[in-house]
Every structure is written in structure tokens, then in C-alpha cells.
């Protein structure tokens, strides 16, 4: 007994010494490079291309005490990283971009973000699309956690060469006239598949989401109760109808087969928010001039769009707000639109000739500066519940199972309701 | 009990008295620096040298494990900060009625069987081939390790394209044999196909690694045992099963435990195989959702960290049990020589 005690005591002593050594070696590495001689480094986290590269140089030249660090990552990874940093209490960027789809999740943690209203952002309210302003406002309306950058808008991109081969009109106004409603859209699709024996749309879920986006009420009402029988049912029924008519190529967005579909003609039409144009251009550069953009059936609609927020953890809140404010000014927003196509969410800019007269050469000179603003303005704001993301995934999964023929279309709605309920309570 | 308590105290006193008496005791030779260093080296140096492992384990292993256990007993939801406090065993009770958990367990088990068994068998065969005299021996030995060196995300993404429905190479190869010409296999539509695809990725990565472990063990088997067996008329196959396997049995047990742990923590492969990877649902109907993936989904998608922690603990216990059973089985199957 005696012996074992002293052994333990030794082990502990040695351990402590070792710990001290480790601690000594690791000291002073976490120093923040921020505030030496008034120099401030601001880190911006976002995904894809926000068109910030040139703006960074411009801002740094005008503000010699500020260095901007652009950190572009993968879309989901950035949001999850932000969530983890918020929980951990440190490490988040000075300015964090948040997408519409994740906004509800972060809005409910508004105490972890700088309230931009305190910084005087209230004066921007009138400049924004009303629903865009509301999307990043906390439930009690007292905390504004972000300022909107771009908005998706909605239109339909289509392949003129494939339409021509199927004997359909190719001129964009005539195509828009083909499908005033989703019923007509499905009929056009049947015509197309009947003639060519090819699929018409890329995926059922990419039909479901735009239709759902057009409904008054989405998955949840303002009390965060699941409302499957209204908006979701309408969108679901149209989608099942289209799948049964054999229109869907059953591809998953942003996957290899989908990307390949742009060049191989696996589908002829897909729902196109403004930011999608850049993706098509990058994925299928060889199809230049074969695409055009028509109106979306059933009027307006929105898909995507982002916000810039300042987490409270930021050590340079004032400088970050100054930069954020600068980024959402008309001049910068127009430059971003021209550079990467992201449509600003301040309607006053839509009449600016720089946007209104802009035509996209890749899409047969489609007047994108006309099409997308019109869609964004004709929009009824829809409340996205806290559990909107998981619920959407659950219903999309049911649609995929129908497309995979592992679930019968007749049984699909009951299954969708069941899965949505599960997702809403998980 | 009283003696054990008294012992350290008295020993401490005695030690203190001894130390104090060093200078005054005329019989006791004053230890030189050399002696002290030598004694320090002999007695304490081993502890110093192994300490970093235990310290790092304490910080990054044991502490998270315990902290995780605490969270498992609490309500901890990121999307509802008001809901906090002790939950008791509620999280664990929820586990038993959760279809998703049982489905994930079933998937994990299925993929584990489809990967571990062929993986270790093939590794054994590869190792016994490498153990012969070959031309460019080193080249082959390094070659089998290459898949292990490949970053797992990179290889999984390649496999993900390999198993895609419309333009995937797997379907193209099968098409050469006339399989699935009109209706190509949708690898992501049902359990069996998805499991096979994922198990293929796991096997590809780990066969070479295990083969090298086996090879190292095989090198220590004396040649004359094989010679004697050959004289007695045992062919290569018989030699493999009757001599090699029993003689490298401890290493086999080791690889079985390793692949059990790895198999039950399977995450990156099923995650990246999913077309909608960020949803972490493991297929439209959870066809290949593993437990690790489910934990990730519950924690970071549903933002229910308390429940996710409970699942992690359950996974820990399951791994312990399965690894134990596997060790017993392997011991039995290969002759029980390790003890």
C-alpha cells in the first residue's frame, strides 16, 4: 500500500511538471494580430464569389488602417462553422455572411450578434425590399442582425436548341407565354418529352421549391406551426404530377450528373435565380448562346439571397460596421451585380441604368436587369419557420424516393406529411 | 481501511525525516550530482517520457468524454436556448424509441460486415502474396499502401462520381457485361447497392494497410515451419490457414479491433456519398445513414446537442461490446493461442 501511494505521488508530480512544460511551450501563440499601431484586420467569411476582391483593394486604399481578409469557403461549411463558433464563444469572423436558408436559425440566436439598429442601420429599412428586411429581423422586431446583400429572384432558364428540336418556340416572350401556369408548364413538358423522348426538368425538388416559394404560406405559419395542407400540398401535387408524366431527370443539384446535364442536354429547363446564371456559365461554358431566360410560371418567386452580419465576438465591431455599411451602398452593390450577377436587394437600384440596361451575352443577351428585379418586386414575403431547412429536406427526400421508384406516388403525400412532422419536432 | 490511510502519512513523515537527516548522518555518503541524475534517469525519466501522451489524452480524450457524458444528461438545444437544465436519462430513453437510431445501427452493422470481412480476408491474401519472393518487392509493398495515403475526402469524392447513376464508371463497367443496359443501377436508391458502394470505398482504403500489418507479422514466422509443412505435402492454401493465420493471430485480433472501431465510426464515406451531403440524411430514406452521421445530423442540423451526446455515448458502449465479441470470436476461430 505504502509503495503504491508513493508511486502515484511520483506519477502525479511528473505529470504536473510535464504539463507545465507543455504549457510553457504553447504560450503566447494566440495573440490577435488586430490592434497593433491602430491597424485593424477584418475577416469576412462567405462562400462562392461575393464579388468582393476588387472592392477589398478599393476599401483598403481608402482606409489605410484597415486590412481585409477574405475567406471564401463551402456554403454549408461556412454556416456550420459560424454556428460552432457562436457556441464556443470565440473565433467567428468580424463579418459573417448568412444565406436566407440559414437565416431563421441564426435569427433565433440574435443575442449573439451585434444589433445593427444600435449602430444606426434603421435608416436603411426603407431602402430594402420589405420582406428582405424582415428576414433578418428577430421575432420581437427589436434586433436586426444583418443587412441584405443580394436576392435570388426567379426565372426559368431553357435551352433554345433543344426547344427548337422539339418544335417548341424559342423566343423568350413566346416561351413565357407558353406557361402562364404550372399546369400549362407540365403540358409543355409532356409535349417536349413526347417529341424527343428526353427529360424536361432536372429534378422534382427543383420544381417543388419554386412553386412552394410562390405560395402565401410555406411550411410554417408565423406561430411556427407546420402547415402541410396549404402551400406544401399545392407544390407537392404539381411535382408528383410532373414526375408521373416522366418529366424529371431525377438529378441532384450541384452534383456531377447534374453539372454534366447542362452540356449533355439531360434536361431542357431549370428554375433560375440570378445567382444560378454564374453557375451555368462556369459549368457549361461550351453552351454559350444556347440558353435563354423566360418568366417563371405563376408569377414571382424567390430562391436564395444573403445577408452580412457582425457576430458579437468581433473585436472590431465599429470598424466592421463601417465596412458593412460601405458594402451595401448602391455603388458597391451595382459593381457586384455587374461582376458576378448577384441581384441587389434594394429596389431603388433596379431603375439604375447600370442594372436596368444590363444584358447577359451568355444567355442570348437576355435582359437580366429587367427580368430579375421584376420577379423580386412581385413577391409575396413568405415566413420561413425555424425548422424550414430540415422540413424541406424531408419532403425533398420523399420526392426523390418517388423518382427512384422506391415509393408509390399514391402513398407519397402521406409519407411526406409523416416525414415533415418528424423533421418539425426533431 | 485504517492501515491504508495511515500508511502514506507515516511514509511521508519518514521520508521527510530521512531527507532532513542527509547532512547530519555521518554514515550516509552525500550523493553526488551524477548519482542524482542517474537515479532521476532510472526512476522518473520513463514517466516524463510517457507523460505527454497521458496529458494530451486527458485534455483531448478523457475530458471531452466526460464532458460529453454530462451534456448527454442535460437538455441542450442550440435553437432553443431557454430549454436548459438536467434531463436525467430522458435523452437515453428517447434513443430506444427512435427509429432513426435503429436504422442507423442496422446500416452501420451492415456496412461494417460488408467491409471488414472481405477487407481482412483480402488483406491476408495480399500479405501472403507479398511474403513470397517477388520481383520489385519494395515497389509492390509500397504500392498496396498508396490507397491508405490518399486523402480520404479526395478518394471518396472520386468514388462518389464512380458510382453515379448516369455517367458513372461502375455502371459503365457493368454495362460491358450487359448488366443494367436499359435501366442503369441507381447506387443511391436502395440499401444493398449503397452499402456495397460504401463498403468498396472502405475496403479500397484499408486492404493495403492491413496487409502490411499482416506482412510484418508474417516475416517473424520461421521459414522452416513452412518447409516442414511443404515436405508433409501442404499446399499454399493449407499453409496459409494452418500455419500463417494461427501464428499471426495476435495481429489479426488487433486488426479486427481496429476495423471494428473504424467501421462503427464510419462517417466521411457515407457523408460524401450522399448527393445532398449537407443534409446528412444518408440517402432519401436513410438507406446508408450511419450512427456517426446521425449524431452529426442530430447535433449540427437539428441542433439538439444533448441528444447527440447521448447517442455518442451509446455508440461508445456499442463499440466496446462489439469489439469484445469480435475479439472472442477471432480468438476462437484462429485457435485461441494468444493467451
Q: What pLDDT, on the 0 to 100 scale, is given for residue A37?
A: 58
> For residue A219, what are the contacts with CB-CB under 8 A and spacing of at least 6?
A212, A226, A227, A228, A231, A232, A384, A385, A387, A388, A391, A392, A420, A424
Average pLDDT over residues A397-424: 93
Q: What pLDDT, on the 0 to 100 scale, is given for residue A382?
A: 77
B301 and A390 within 8 Å at the Cβ level: the answer is: yes
Whether the Cβ atoms of residue B326 and residue B260 lie closer than 8 Å to each other: yes
Q: What pLDDT, on the 0 to 100 scale, is given for residue B338?
A: 46
Q: What pLDDT, on the 0 to 100 scale, is given for residue B80?
A: 73
A14 and B44 within 8 Å at the Cβ level: the answer is: yes
Asked whether residue B79 carries a pLDDT value surpassing 90, the answer given is: no
Asked whether residue B301 carries a pLDDT value surpassing 70, the answer given is: yes
- Which helix (H) or strand (E) segment holds residue A147: the answer is strand A146-151
Q: What pLDDT, on the 0 to 100 scale, is given for residue A1?
A: 44
Q: What pLDDT, on the 0 to 100 scale, is given for residue B237?
A: 87
What is the distance between the alpha carbons of residues B80 and A156, in angstroms, rounded to a whole number? 38
B302 and A406 within 8 Å at the Cβ level: the answer is: no
Cell of B203: 475496403
A10 and B285 within 8 Å at the Cβ level: the answer is: no
Residue appearing with cell numbers 438536467? B86
Percent of chain A with pLDDT over 90: 49
What is the distance between the alpha carbons of residues B45 and B51, in angstroms, rounded to a whole number? 10
B30–chain A nearest CA distance, Å: 23
Per CB-CB distance under 8 Å, the chain A contacts of B165 are 257
Asked whether residue A36 carries a pLDDT value surpassing 70, the answer given is: no
Percent of chain B with pLDDT over 90: 46
What is the distance between the alpha carbons of residues A199 and A190, in angstroms, rounded to a whole number? 9
Nearest to A19 among B47, B55, B188 (CB): B55
Residue A72, helix vs strand vs coil: strand
Q: Counting one residue from A and one from B, how many pairs have CB atoms under 8 Å apart?
A: 102
Q: Phi first, then psi: what are they for B188, rounded to 5°?
A: -110, 15
Asked whether residue A44 carries a pLDDT value surpassing 90, the answer given is: yes
A266 and B166 within 8 Å at the Cβ level: the answer is: yes
A14 and B51 within 8 Å at the Cβ level: the answer is: yes
Closest residue of chain A to B11, computed from CA coordinates: A2
> For residue A414, what are the contacts with CB-CB under 8 A and spacing of at least 6?
none
Q: How confident is the model at residue B334 (pLDDT cuts 50, 70, 90)?
A: low
Percent of chain A with pLDDT over 70: 90
B239–chain A nearest CA distance, Å: 47
Query: Taking an 8 Å Cβ-Cβ cutoff, which residues of chain B contact chain A?
Result: 3-4, 7-8, 10-11, 15, 43-44, 47-48, 51-52, 54-55, 78-81, 160-161, 164-167, 186, 188-190, 275-279, 281, 284-285, 298, 300-304
A390 and B161 within 8 Å at the Cβ level: the answer is: no
Nearest 5°: the CA angle A152, A114, A328 is 40
B166 and A397 within 8 Å at the Cβ level: the answer is: no
Q: Phi first, then psi: what are they for A157, rounded to 5°?
A: -90, 140
* Longest Cα separation, chain B: 100
Q: What pLDDT, on the 0 to 100 scale, is given for residue B176?
A: 87
Query: Could you give the C-alpha distances from A214 to A4, A301, A376, A381, in angstroms and in order?
Result: 74, 5, 11, 9
Per CB-CB distance under 8 Å, the chain A contacts of B302 are 390, 426
**More confident: B277 or B269:** B269
Q: How confident is the model at residue B4 (pLDDT cuts 50, 70, 90)?
A: very low
Nearest to B79 among A108, A251, A256 (CB): A108
Query: Taking an 8 Å Cβ-Cβ cutoff, which residues of chain A contact chain B?
Result: 1-2, 5-6, 9-11, 14-15, 17-19, 22, 75-76, 80, 83-84, 87, 105, 108-109, 111, 251-252, 255-257, 260-261, 266, 386, 389-390, 393, 396-398, 400-401, 404-407, 426
What is the distance between the alpha carbons of residues A252 and B229, in angstroms, rounded to a whole number? 58
Average pLDDT over residues B312-328: 90
Average pLDDT over residues B131-144: 88
Q: What pLDDT, on the 0 to 100 scale, is given for residue B300?
A: 85
Nearest to A5 among B8, B161, B276 (CB): B8
B8 and A10 within 8 Å at the Cβ level: the answer is: no
Q: What pLDDT, on the 0 to 100 scale, is given for residue A7?
A: 61
Asked whether residue A19 carries a pLDDT value surpassing 80, the answer given is: no
Nearest to A426 among B80, B190, B302 (CB): B302
Q: Which long-range contacts does B71-77 make (Cβ < 8 Å, 24+ apart)?
A: B71/B305, B71/B306, B71/B309, B72/B306, B72/B309, B72/B310, B72/B312, B72/B313, B73/B306, B74/B306, B75/B306, B76/B304, B76/B305, B76/B306, B76/B309, B77/B303, B77/B304, B77/B305, B77/B306
Residue B85, helix vs strand vs coil: strand
Q: What pLDDT, on the 0 to 100 scale, is given for residue A399?
A: 94
* Alpha-carbon A60 to chain mean position: 28
Per CB-CB distance under 8 Å, the chain A contacts of B4 are 1
Lowest pLDDT segment from A403-417, B2-16, B209-223, B248-262: B2-16
Q: What pLDDT, on the 0 to 100 scale, is given for residue A302?
A: 79
A339-352 burial code (b ≥16 CB/10 A, e <16): bbbbbbbbbebbeb
Whether the Cβ atoms of residue A193 and residue A199 lie closer than 8 Å to each other: yes
Which tens digits make up the pLDDT trace of A84-131?
899 888 999 999 999 888 888 898 889 999 999 999 999 999 999 888
Whether the Cβ atoms of residue A159 and residue A291 lie closer than 8 Å to each other: yes
Asked whether residue B336 carries a pLDDT value surpassing 90, the answer given is: no
Per CB-CB distance under 8 Å, the chain A contacts of B188 are 404
Whether the Cβ atoms of residue B252 and residue B100 lie closer than 8 Å to each other: no
A377–chain B nearest CA distance, Å: 31
A251–chain B nearest CA distance, Å: 9
Q: Which long-range contacts does B192-195 make (Cβ < 8 Å, 24+ apart)?
A: B194/B273, B194/B283, B194/B287, B194/B288, B195/B107, B195/B110, B195/B111, B195/B114, B195/B288
Which tens digits make up the pLDDT trace of B32-70?
888 889 988 888 999 999 999 999 999 999 999 999 999
Q: How confident is the model at residue A11 (pLDDT cuts 50, 70, 90)?
A: low
What is the distance between the alpha carbons of residues B92 and B292, in angstroms, rounded to a whole number? 16
Average pLDDT over residues A187-208: 93
Q: What pLDDT, on the 0 to 100 scale, is given for residue B175?
A: 86
B97–chain A nearest CA distance, Å: 13
Q: How confident is the model at residue A28 (pLDDT cuts 50, 70, 90)?
A: very low
Residue A291, helix vs strand vs coil: strand
Which tens digits make up the pLDDT trace of A323-372?
999 999 999 999 888 877 788 889 889 888 888 888 888 899 999 888 88
pTM recorded for the entire structure: 0.78
B278 and A75 within 8 Å at the Cβ level: the answer is: yes
A260 and B166 within 8 Å at the Cβ level: the answer is: yes
**More confident: A277 or B263:** B263
Asked whether residue A5 carries a pLDDT value surpassing 70, the answer given is: no
In terms of Cα–Cα distance, which of A221, A217, A247 is closest to A234?
A: A217
Asked whether residue B16 carries a pLDDT value surpassing 50, the answer given is: no
Query: Could you give the C-alpha distances from B23 to A104, A187, B20, B32, B36, in angstroms and in order?
Result: 75, 105, 7, 13, 15
Report the range out of A180-184, B245-249, B303-307 with the highest average pLDDT: A180-184
Best mutation target among A220, A249, A406 (most B Cβ atoms within 10 Å) is A406
A398 and B284 within 8 Å at the Cβ level: the answer is: yes
Per CB-CB distance under 8 Å, the chain B contacts of A5 are 7-8, 11
Whether the Cβ atoms of residue B36 and residue A6 lie closer than 8 Å to each other: no
Nearest to B302 among A2, A5, A390 (CB): A390
Per CB-CB distance under 8 Å, the chain A contacts of B164 are 255-257
Nearest to A87 among B78, B276, B284 (CB): B78
Q: How confident is the model at residue A38 (pLDDT cuts 50, 70, 90)?
A: confident
Asked whether residue B27 carries a pLDDT value surpassing 60, the answer given is: no
Average pLDDT over residues A187-214: 92
What ipTM, to 2 d.p.? 0.74
Lowest pLDDT segment from A363-372, A373-382, B246-255: A373-382
Mean pLDDT value across chain B: 85
Amino acid at each position: 500500500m505504502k509503495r503504491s501511494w508513493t508511486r502515484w505521488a511520483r506519477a502525479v508530480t511528473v505529470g504536473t511538471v510535464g504539463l507545465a512544460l507543455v504549457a510553457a511551450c504553447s504560450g503566447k501563440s494566440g495573440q490577435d494580430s488586430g490592434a497593433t499601431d491602430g491597424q485593424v484586420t477584418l475577416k469576412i467569411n462567405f462562400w462562392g464569389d461575393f464579388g468582393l476582391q476588387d472592392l477589398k483593394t478599393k476599401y483598403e486604399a481608402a482606409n489605410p488602417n484597415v486590412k481585409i481578409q477574405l475567406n471564401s469557403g463551402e456554403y454549408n461549411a461556412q454556416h456550420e462553422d459560424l454556428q460552432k463558433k457562436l457556441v464556443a464563444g470565440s473565433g467567428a469572423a468580424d463579418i459573417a455572411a448568412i444565406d436566407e436558408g440559414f437565416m431563421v436559425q441564426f435569427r433565433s440566436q440574435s443575442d449573439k450578434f451585434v444589433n445593427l439598429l444600435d449602430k444606426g442601420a434603421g435608416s436603411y429599412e426603407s431602402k430594402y425590399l420589405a420582406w428582405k428586411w424582415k428576414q433578418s429581423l428577430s421575432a420581437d422586431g427589436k434586433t436586426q442582425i444583418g443587412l441584405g446583400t443580394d436576392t435570388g429572384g426567379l426565372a426559368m432558364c431553357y435551352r433554345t436548341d433543344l426547344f427548337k428540336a422539339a418544335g417548341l418556340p424559342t423566343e423568350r416572350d413566346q416561351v413565357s407565354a407558353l406557361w402562364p401556369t404550372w399546369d400549362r408548364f407540365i403540358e409543355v413538358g409532356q409535349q417536349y418529352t413526347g417529341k424527343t423522348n428526353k427529360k424536361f426538368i432536372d429534378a422534382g425538388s427543383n420544381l417543388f421549391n419554386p412553386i412552394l416559394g410562390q405560395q402565401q404560406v410555406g411550411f410554417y405559419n408565423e406561430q411556427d406551426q407546420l402547415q402541410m395542407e396549404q402551400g406544401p400540398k399545392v407544390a407537392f401535387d404539381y411535382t408528383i404530377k410532373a414526375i408521373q408524366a416522366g418529366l424529371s431527370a431525377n438529378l441532384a443539384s450541384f452534383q456531377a450528373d447534374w453539372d454534366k446535364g447542362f452540356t449533355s442536354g439531360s434536361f431542357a429547363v431549370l428554375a433560375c435565380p440570378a445567382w444560378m446564371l454564374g453557375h451555368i456559365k462556369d459549368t457549361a461554358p461550351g453552351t454559350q448562346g444556347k440558353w435563354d431566360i423566360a418568366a417563371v410560371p405563376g408569377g414571382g418567386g424567390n430562391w436564395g439571397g444573403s445577408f452580412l452580419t457582425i457576430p458579437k465576438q468581433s473585436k472590431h465591431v465599429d470598424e466592421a460596421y463601417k465596412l458593412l455599411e460601405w458594402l451595401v451602398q448602391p455603388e458597391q452593390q451595382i459593381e457586384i451585380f455587374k461582376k458576378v450577377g448577384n441581384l441587389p436587394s434594394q429596389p431603388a437600384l433596379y431603375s439604375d441604368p447600370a442594372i436596368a440596361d444590363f444584358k447577359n451575352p451568355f444567355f442570348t443577351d437576355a435582359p437580366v436587369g429587367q427580368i430579375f428585379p421584376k420577379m423580386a418586386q412581385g413577391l409575396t414575403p413568405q415566413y420561413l419557420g425555424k425548422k424550414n431547412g430540415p422540413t424541406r429536406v424531408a419532403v425533398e427526400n420523399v420526392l426523390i424516393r418517388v423518382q427512384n421508384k422506391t415509393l408509390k406516388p399514391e402513398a407519397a403525400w402521406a409519407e411526406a406529411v409523416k416525414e415533415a412532422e418528424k423533421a418539425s419536432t426533431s | 481501511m485504517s492501515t491504508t490511510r495511515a500508511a502514506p502519512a507515516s511514509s511521508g513523515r519518514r521520508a521527510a525525516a530521512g531527507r532532513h537527516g542527509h547532512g547530519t548522518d555521518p554514515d550516509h555518503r552525500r550523493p553526488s550530482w551524477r548519482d542524482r541524475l542517474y537515479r532521476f534517469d532510472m526512476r522518473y525519466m520513463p514517466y516524463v517520457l510517457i507523460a505527454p501522451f497521458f496529458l494530451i489524452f486527458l485534455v483531448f480524450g478523457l475530458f471531452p468524454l466526460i464532458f460529453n457524458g454530462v451534456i448527454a444528461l442535460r437538455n441542450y438545444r442550440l435553437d432553443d436556448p431557454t430549454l436548459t437544465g438536467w434531463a436525467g436519462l430522458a435523452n437515453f430513453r428517447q434513443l430506444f424509441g427512435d427509429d432513426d437510431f435503429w436504422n442507423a445501427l442496422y446500416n452501420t452493422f451492415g456496412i461494417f460486415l460488408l467491409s471488414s470481412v472481405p477487407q481482412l480476408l483480402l488483406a491476408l491474401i495480399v500479405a501472403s502474396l507479398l511474403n513470397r519472393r517477388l520481383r520489385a518487392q519494395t515497389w509492390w509493398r509500397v504500392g498496396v499502401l498508396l490507397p491508405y495515403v490518399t486523402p480520404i475526402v479526395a478518394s471518396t469524392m472520386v468514388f462518389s462520381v464512380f458510382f453515379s447513376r448516369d455517367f458513372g464508371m461502375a455502371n459503365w463497367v457493368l454495362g460491358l457485361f450487359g448488366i443494367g443496359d436499359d435501366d442503369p443501377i441507381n447506387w443511391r436508391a436502395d440499401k444493398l447497392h449503397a452499402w456495397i458502394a460504401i463498403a468498396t470505398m472502405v475496403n479500397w482504403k484499408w486492404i493495403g494497410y492491413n496487409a502490411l500489418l499482416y506482412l510484418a507479422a508474417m516475416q517473424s514466422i520461421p521459414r522452416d515451419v513452412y518447409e516442414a509443412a511443404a515436405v508433409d505435402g501442404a499446399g499454399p492454401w493449407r499453409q496459409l490457414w494452418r500455419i500463417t493465420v494461427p501464428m499471426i493471430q495476435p495481429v489479426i485480433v488487433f486488426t479486427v479491433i481496429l476495423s471494428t472501431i473504424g467501421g462503427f465510426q464510419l462517417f466521411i464515406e457515407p457523408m460524401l456519398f450522399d448527393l445532398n451531403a449537407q443534409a446528412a440524411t444518408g440517402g432519401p430514406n436513410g438507406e446508408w445513414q450511419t450512427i456517426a452521421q446521425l449524431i452529426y445530423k442530430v447535433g449540427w442540423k437539428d441542433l439538439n446537442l444533448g441528444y447527440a451526446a447521448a447517442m455518442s455515448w451509446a455508440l461508445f458502449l456499442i463499440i466496446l461490446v462489439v469489439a469484445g465479441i469480435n475479439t472472442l470470436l477471432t480468438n476462437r476461430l484462429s485457435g485461441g493461442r494468444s493467451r
